[in-house]
Structure formats: structure tokens, C-alpha cells
Structure 1
Amino acid sequence: MAEHAHTHTSTPSPVPDLNRNRLPTLFEVLSRRTLPPVDLFSFYIYMRDQQRSVDYLDFWLDVAQHMSLCRHYVRELRRSVLVGTPEPEKDSKRSSAILQGLGEMSHHAGPSMYATEKERDQDAQMSAFLREDRPGAHDSPQSSNGPRNRPSPGISSSRDITSDSNSPAHTVARQDIRASAEKILYTFLLPGAEREITLPGSITQDVTTAIEEFGRDDPEVFDVAKDYVFQAMERDAFPGFLRMKALGNLIPATLIMRLILGLVSMFGGFWAAFILIFLNETRQTRLWLILPFTIGVYSLASYQYSLDPILALLGFSEYTPFNFSRVREPYVRKLLAQRAIMVLAVTILIDAALCVLFILVPGKRL
């Protein structure tokens, strides 16, 4: 076997579509085909900090990495069959035929939608093989490496998000797949689970029965739950994510601070303006009113449009308080620049009107 040992090379990450002249879909974001600020890492931060439902995204990512683990396991078996050294337990003619018919299975984990019919058929055949391949309906491994970690708050790059491109380099054992399926079940689906997500009872029951009673651990066992979670995120979370990241570049916590700063600055500007008018101060002195009015109008406009126009024109977007990342998605960069010019025009117009009014109005000492 040593002479046929295979060194795993990672599947290349999907190439982002730099010519996309539209906003991305959720499937493209989850497939890591987008760039900041509408990438998977930004969506994870949004689900964690704004939507407060990151468990749904974690479930989807864990199911995707379970699929990746299964593909890696089947790829190893297929290669061992092709070089004529199948494992003793896997050398049935039927299993060998299925393995040889699967192909390289190099596509990326995703929801139940595929780029080609071939990819769908490959995953269906893989699941069928794994159902036949399981050692027993009630076997449960005592130890396993389990699935890899999901992204944490400290992640600084979306490439750390789980995908097929960072499948484990070590050999995947059959019990690893079983442990991965059980971990997903016990973490997200069982009543009272550590991070239980809300699904229709029939879906939860079907998955639980399939894993615990029938011993299944193939990826298809999670298909219905995964698609339900995908549709829920697409309907309830993704539109808000696009509004925040593609039409604006500030997060709610910062927007509240800008609202407070804007109101305080406007109050100070009006207060100082009336004081200077009624003290009959010169227009040169009243030119200082430009400062509070400009700060106030700029802050309130940023709050109203969820956009800092100067930062947008410089190409930055906020993902956590006072932490900014470069806007790299071409269409989003263009969209933010257009909105930034509009917000700046509104700000300058209102600011100029206020300054002209309170600087040029004749003074009258009381």
C-alpha cells in the first residue's frame, strides 16, 4: 500500500466573478464566490452580530463540511480501487463499480443545487455508496476527529471558512463520517441541543430516525434540513445583509453614535447661531458656524443612508465597530460610490443652506 500512498492536494477555491454586474446570491456567498464586503466572512459576522441567528449558518456550514468529509473519504476509496488496492472491507464488485463511476468529485459543497447534472448524480451515487458501506445500522464510533472548527469571531479572512478546498489532509476513516453526522445531530437538531435550531418537527424527526435507528450518515440525510435552513436565511437574513453591505458601509452600533453626534452638533450649531445673531456679532465671527453645522448634517446624513460617503469613496466598509475592510466586490464598490456622491450632494446642499441663512442674516443686539 505504501507505494500507492496518495498525498491530498486541496481543491482550488472558487474564483470570484469579477464581471458580475449585479448583487450576488446567497448561494454565491456561501460558495465563496464573492469578495468583501459581501463575502462569507462578512455574512457570518452579520448573522452573529445583527441577525442573532448564527446557529443556522453554522449548521449549514457543518453540513457542507460533512459533505466535504464524505467526498474526501470516497475519493480516497476510489483511488485505492483504481490502483488495485481496495481496503479489505470495501472490495465488493458493486462498491468498486460505484466508486469507479463517481469521477473525481472535485466540485464544492453547497445546498441541493449544482452547476451540472453530473455533480448532482455524483453526490447521489456517493450517498448511495455510503448507505451501503456503513458497518451497521446502530454502530457508533467511540472516538473520532470529527468535523473541523467553524469560523470564530477572531477570524481575519474568509478563506478560513469551511469549504471543500480545505478538506483534511489526513486519511479519513469511516467512523469520522459517522461522528460528523452525530455531532451535527446532537449539536443542532435534537430537542434541548447545545445550539438547537428551529425546524419543522417532521424534518427533525426524520433526520433523528435516519441517523439513530437506521445508522445513516450519508450527506443526503441532511438534505431537507439543509435546504430549509438555506431558504430561511435567503428569505429572512440575506436581504438585510445586502442592504447593510451593498447599499451602506456602517453597522447599527456606529449609526446610533452618528445620530447622537449629529443631534448634539445641530443643537450646538443652532444655539451658537442664535447667540451670535442676537449679540450682533460680525459675519466673520459667524463663519465658525460652518463647523457644527457641517458635522451635524454629515452625521445625520450618514445615519439616514447608513453610509459614510467619504469612507465609501475611499473604498472602505465597516464590519465590526471601527474596524474596516476594503470593498473588493466590483459591483458593490461602484454602487457605494454612486450612493456616496448622492449623499455628499445632499449634505453639501443642506449644510450650505444653513450656513448661508445664519451667517448672512442681519444681526440684532437684544
Structure 2
Amino acid sequence: MADHDHHAHVPIQHRNRFPTLFEVLSRQTVAPLDLFSFYIYMRDQQRSVDYLDFWLDVAQHLQLCRLYVRRLHRSVFEDTPEMEKNSKRESFFPEGAGEGPSGEKGEVSDQRLSAFLRSDHGSRQHSPHPSQGSNYSHPSTRGDLPRPSFMTMDTSSPGEDSNSPGQVSSNGNGLRREDLRASAEKILYTYLLPGSEREIIIPQSILQDVQDAIEGPDQRSDPELFDAAKDYVFQAMERDAFPGFLQSKGLGNLVPQSMMIRLIVGLISFFGAVWASFILIFLDKSRVTRCWLILPFTVAFYFIFTHQYMLDPILALLGFSEYTLMDFNRIREPFVKKTLNKRSITTLGLFLLVDAAVCCLFILVPGKRL
């Protein structure tokens, strides 16, 4: 398994750095570097949101496994004499499994959880009674739809949706062993198999191992079977998508569509200002009249600078970042706010310097009527 080297969790207010991908995925960050923003970035700019959805669905599958084992734990110890409970509790129930990529804290507990789910003891002897309300069946007979877009959810927790077994109550009531298998199969058939509806590209060896584990004689549904694929997807996002996300949201506050509109408006304003400047010069208009050139030049250089630096300094100083086109939300991550404020002051200084130099050039140059 891959050994990920991540920073330890640091409180948001004390984190004097950009967050890691693991912190973003673990919901330890706030806007504009939160999971919601990363989802939008992966969907709209990176065009690879299926990789993030796969990672979130595997994390949700781990939660389902925990709920199942907790319920199983309660059913086994319900009638156990008090003196025997403590000794059985440690050997039976793998408590405290983590959610991160393999190699993160909680890996040992995750391995225990997977080992327990693979055992005959866990799967056959003490399986909770099926719930009449369970709506899970084999994916081949249900025609499961892919995960709905994160943008349509009412919750801050991507990974919970109406088509997933995550709808069981928080104490695991209504969750069966068959639900875990259906969840694992849904991930396989939605993301991994060639030609699947939301296929992601992973090494063939990893795909084959997962497929054999789920469809083979063992019919595994433990979360450990997805470890290699989850690690691969995590590393791919960390390498290919996350640096661009930090640059876009940590060093700027505009989306590409807004930047393109600003570039177009800025160039039109610049050429219009230059055209008007030469007309006023060659008509020998007074310098007072030519002062009106300040307006189009200011608009032109402001928009060109905001495009160049991916940053609207006025909006940043007011504490806003653009999520989608013309949709602004408040910046809550302290380090990002501090970074953008510094960049905004520098950008404004350069903008005013260039704007003043060009305006003075066209206003103070002697006029000559042709």
C-alpha cells in the first residue's frame, strides 16, 4: 500500500499554510478551499469529477461497513453477561477505523474491519436480521443510476444521496450484509468496469484484483478491497488536479469564464481608449478634455490585470471569492484571506502604476491638428 505523507490535523485558525488534499477530502477546511469548492473545480475545470465521486463513494462504503459491524456488535453482546462483555468487545469489534487513504491513521483498524467482514464468523453466524424496509438488491436487476451531482445536494456531505445505502439510520438499523455487497458492486459497475457509465482509468492489475474479489468465490464487500484503487485515485488527484485547485482558489478568486469575459472587455476598452486618444491628440483637444481617457484606460487595465493574475483585488479585499460565474461567496480560510490580501495590494499597486503612466502619456503629449 502507498504510504501517504500528510500534515497532521491543525485547527483552521492556526494553519499557516494551504491545506493538503487529505484535509480537504476530510472536510477539515472551509471556503474557498472546502470540499464543495474542490467538487466544483473537478466538475467544471478539471472535467474529472468521476474520480472524486469514486473516492467519496468508497469512503461512504467504509462508513456502511462500520455501521454494519456496530449493529452486529450490539446484536452479539445484547444477551452477553456483563462480566464477559469487556473481554469479548476488544476481540470482536474493530472500533475506530479511519477514513483516509491507506497509510493514514486508522489503517490498522480498517484492516481489522476488513478481516472481520471477510471472516465466516462475521458474515454467517451473527448477521443481523434483514430489514423489511431495505431497498437494496443486486445492481444487475436494479439499474442503479450514477451518483447525483454534488451541486444538487442539500447537505454539506457529498457521498450521501438518495440512491445509496447511506440512507440507513446512523445506528445501522435496516442495514444488511447484502447491502454491503450491493454497495461494493455498485462502485465496481459504476466506476471501474470498462464501458461503465462513469468509468475512471486505473491500472488493469488493480481493476482485475477488485473485480475478482467482488465477483469471485469470496464475494468480498470489505472496504480493504478498494484500497489500491483508492490510493491510485488519491495520488492522481493530488498530482494532477489539486495543485491547480490551490492556484485557482488559494492564489486567485475568479473562475475561467469570468477571466475570459474580463479579458475581452479589457482588450476592447484598451483599443477603444487608444483610438480615442489619437483622435483627441490629432484634433488638438485640450488636456482637460483628454482627462476623460482615464475612464476607458482604467477599465481596460483593471480587467486585463484581473485576468492576468486570476484575481479581482477589490473583491478579494472585501473578502469574496467566485465559485461559479457571478456567484461570489465569502472567504473563510484565514491563510487564504491573508494570502489574497497581500496579492491584492500588490496587484492594485501595479495596476495603478501602469494606468497612471499610460494616462499621463496620452494626456500630456502635445496635440497637433492634422
Match of residue 37, structure 2, among 32, 35, 42: 42
CA 1:156 to 1:332, structure 2 compared with 1: closer, same or farther past 3 Å? Answer: farther
Q: What is residue 309 of structure 1 aligned with on the other side?
A: 313
User: Residues 246-300 of structure 1: CA distance to partner in whole angstroms, max 9, x if unpaired?
Assistant: 0111111111111111100000110111111111111111111000000000011
| Aligned position for 1:291 | 295
Assess, with a 3 A threshold, how the Cα gap between structure 1 residues 253 and 156 changes in structure 2: closer, same or farther.
farther
Q: Where does residue 215 of structure 2 map in the other structure?
A: 212
Aligned to 2:4: none
Residue 184, structure 1, aligned to residue 187, structure 2: yes
- CA drift of 1:15 comes to 9.0
State the 1:319 CA deviation. Answer: 1.2
| TM value normalised by structure 2 | 0.84
Counterpart of 1:338? Answer: 342
Q: Return closer, same or farther for 1:26/1:279 CA change in 2, 3 Å cut-off.
A: same
Residue identity opposite 1:110 in structure 2: G
SS of alignment partner, residue 41 of structure 2: helix
Separation in 1 of the partners of 2:341 and 2:226? Answer: 42
Confirm or deny: 8 A CA contact 2:297 2:359 kept in the other structure.
yes
Q: Does 1:99 align with 2:92?
A: yes
Aligned to 2:56: 61
1:127 aligns with 2:114: yes
Q: Name the counterpart of 1:261.
A: 265
Say which SS state the counterpart of residue 200 (structure 2) adopts.
coil
Please say if residues 244 and 250 of structure 1, whose CA atoms lie closer than 8 Å, have aligned partners that are also in contact.
yes
Would the alpha carbon gap of residues 151 and 17 (structure 1) be closer, same or farther in structure 2, given more than 3 Å must change? farther
Asked if structure 2 preserves the Cα contact closer than 8 Å seen for 1:26 and 1:238, the reply is yes
Hey, what's the Cα distance between the residues in 2 that align with 1:292 and 1:85?
82
1:271 to 270, 275, 285: 275
Q: Which moved more, 1:127-136 or 1:180-189?
A: 127-136
Per the TM alignment, residue 74 of structure 1 is displaced from its structure 2 partner at its CA by 1.0
- Partner residue in 2 for 1:89: none
**Letter in structure 1 aligned against 2:343:** R
**Does the CA-based 8 Å contact 2:27-2:34 persist in structure 1?**
yes
Name the aligned partner's letter for residue 23 of structure 2: E
Report the alpha carbon displacement of residue 162 of structure 1 after superposing the two structures with TM: 2.9
CA distance in 2, matches of 1:282, 1:97: 90
Call closer, same or farther: CA 1:161–1:143 in 2, change over 3 Å. closer
Deviation string, structure 1 residues 76-123 (Cα, Å, up to 9, x no partner): 22233333279xxxxxxx9976324x23x2x652211333xxx22221
Q: In structure 2, do the counterparts of structure 1 residues 27 and 129 end up closer, same or farther at CA, with 3 Å as the change threshold?
A: same
Matched, 1:160 2:157: yes
- Say whether residues 1:321 and 2:319 are aligned partners: no
Whether the aligned pair in 1 keeps the contact of 2:98 and 2:109 (CA below 8 Å) is no
Shift of 1:16: 5.3
Deviation at 1:151, TM superposition (A): 4.8
Q: 8 Å contact 1:269–1:293 — kept in the other structure? A: yes
Match of residue 84 from structure 2: none
SS in 2 for 1:153: helix
Contact 2:98 2:104 survives alignment (8 Å): no
For 2:71, which of 70, 76, 79 is the aligned residue? 76
| Residue pair 2:313, 2:347 contacting (<8 A) in 1 also | yes
The answer as to whether partners of 2:313 and 2:345 remain within 8 angstroms in 1 is yes
2:240 equivalent among 230, 236, 241:
236
RMSD: 2.6
- C-alpha offsets along residues 151-197 of structure 1, whole Å, 9 cap, x if unaligned? 5223476x23238xx87415121111111000000001111111111
Gap change, CA 1:63 and 1:150, over 3 Å in 2:
farther
Q: Which residue of 1 aligns with 2:101?
A: 111
- Equivalent pair of 2:188/2:211 in contact (CA under 8 Å): yes
| Residues 81, 96 of structure 1: 8 Å contact kept | no
**Corresponding residue SS for 1:319:** strand
The number of aligned residues is 333
Distance 2:167 2:195 in 1: 30
- The secondary structure found in structure 1 opposite 2:195 is coil
1:347 maps to a residue whose letter is: F
Within 5 Å, give how 1:80-91 maps onto structure 2: 80-84=75-79
Letter matched to residue 17 of structure 1: I
Q: Distance in 2 between matches of 1:210 and 1:189?
A: 13
CA contact (8 A) 1:98 1:125 kept: no
Any gaps of 5 or more consecutive residues in structure 1? 1-13, 87-93
| 1:160 counterpart SS class | coil
Is contact 2:253-2:320 (8 Å) kept? yes
Query: What does the per-residue CA deviation read over 1:334-360, in whole Å, with 9 as the maximum and x for residues that have no partner?
Result: 001100111100110000001111111
Deviation at 1:198, TM superposition (A): 0.5
Give the distance between the partners of 1:308 and 1:350, measured in 2 at CA. Answer: 16
TM-score, L = length of structure 1 = 0.85
Spell out, residue by residue over 1:199-240, the C-alpha distance to the aligned partner (whole angstroms, 9 max, x if none): 110000000000001200000000000000000000000000
In the superposition, relative to structure 1, how do residues 25 and 251 fare at CA in structure 2: closer, same or farther (>3 Å)?
same
Q: Does the CA contact (< 8 Å) of 1:151 and 1:162 recur in 2? A: no
